[in-house]
Amino acid sequence: MDIGFIGLGNMGGPMAANLMKAGHSLTVFDLSKTALQVASDAGARVAKSPRDAVENSEVVITMLPAAAHVMAVYLNDDGVLAGVRPGVPMIDSSTIDPATAKLIAEAAGKQGNPFADAPVSGGTGGAQAGTLTFMVGADEALFETLKPVLAGMGKNMVHCGETGTGQIAKICNNLLLGISMIGVAESMKLGASLGIDPNKLASIINTSTGRCWSADTCNPYPNVLPNAPSSRGYTGGFGADLMLKDLGLAVDAARQVKQPIMLGALAQQLYQTMSMQGLGGLDFSAIIKLYSGKED
């Protein structure tokens, strides 16, 4: 298939590479010359604008940082909607707010292009390995059409409901993840301060009712899990600033439906504090540093 792919960052770069490995022809666009060069070396055609990238595409995929970038890439004069042929389906895998996803879907629908929001979980490791989970907001027929394309980048495709519901699923998952990481950090730090061996504590938690992904796969306490970001200086994971963005999306979405999210709002402030202290580029499990005393 001819695929127009826009946004070749930490996630989009490997996703595009996997689509080419799966036999698709890619035309790509990004603002980064380096990212374009990497994709070109792997066999992609480099376009001059989003519009240029999609003019001959049979499917369009975007993987951009946030809603403002998605709006610009789809709606600007040299954007996707200005170049795409009617009927061509489009997938946005960026994590953005459900309202923007619906707005793009409406604009696309007016010119006969079906649009799906399909944010992912699985991180950069999943993007590289082609094992991402896609949470898809689309009608049933569009979901079935897109499944074979998504299979080139991921292992699980979950149909969440109509447009926007993929983003709702993603935001709610990351709300819980952001909160659970703070809980694990607080518990691990207290245990260590009270004098239990952190490895012993982690192994108890991981076979008890406190077990969760933040404890058994990404434990924030250094050297408890050798492959976790906490054991390599909190590098190479899911950046705290991206978690902060996702908690902001949850807080905004909650405000729209007047739904209180007490712990989510507090979690947002804690990651904001981390970001203000210059730690926003570290893996979000570095939130444990907020519990550090002078001796740490």
> What residues act catalytically?
170
Indicate whether 238 belongs to the interface with ligand NAD (CB under 6 A). yes
Q: Is 9 in the site for ligand NAD (CB under 6 A)?
A: yes
Look at residue 187 and give its three-state secondary structure: helix
At residue 175, what is the residue type?
Answer: L
- 120 contributes a contact to ligand NAD by CB under 6 A: yes
Sign of CA dihedral 36, 37, 40, 46: positive
CB of 156 to ligand NAD, least distance (A): 14
Angstrom distance (rounded) from CA 162 to CA 71: 20
String of contacts with ligand NAD for each residue 72-111, x by CB under 6 A = xx--------------------xx----------------
Candidate ranges 65-73, 99-107, 189-197, 208-216; the one touching ligand NAD (CB under 6 A) = 65-73
Phi, psi (degrees; rounded to nearest 5) at 48:
-95, -15
The reply on whether position 67 binds ligand NAD by CB under 6 A is no
Between 163 and 167, name the residue whose CB sits nearer to ligand NAD.
Answer: 167
Dihedral pair phi/psi, residue 66, rounded to 5° = -150, 180
Choose the stretch contacting ligand NAD; rule: CB under 6 A; options: 29-37, 179-187, 204-212, 216-224: 29-37
Interacting residue with ligand NAD among 3, 4, 5, 12 (CB under 6 A): 12
Query: Is there a contact between 89 and 114 (Cβ–Cβ < 8 Å)?
Result: yes
Nearer to ligand NAD, 18 or 94 (CB): 94
CA distances from 43 to 19, 27, 39, 69, 232 (A): 11, 9, 7, 25, 33
Stretch that binds ligand NAD, among 23-31, 144-152, 159-167, 261-269 (CB under 6 A): 23-31
Binding status of residue 248 toward ligand NAD by CB under 6 A: no
DSSP 112-147: T--EEE--EESHHHHHHHT-EEEEEES-HHHHHHHH
Q: Does 123 bind ligand NAD (CB under 6 A)?
A: yes
Minimal CA–CA distance to 91: which of 169, 2, 3, 1?
3
CB of 111 to ligand NAD, least distance (A): 20
Total chain residues near ligand NAD (CB under 6 A): 26
Which string of DSSP letters, residue by residue, matches 47-106? Answer: PSSHHHHHTT-SEEEE--SSHHHHHHHHHSTTSHHHHPPTT--EEE-S---HHHHHHHHH
Site residues for ligand NAD per CB under 6 A: 6-12, 29-32, 35, 63-65, 69, 72-73, 94-95, 120-121, 123-124, 238, 242
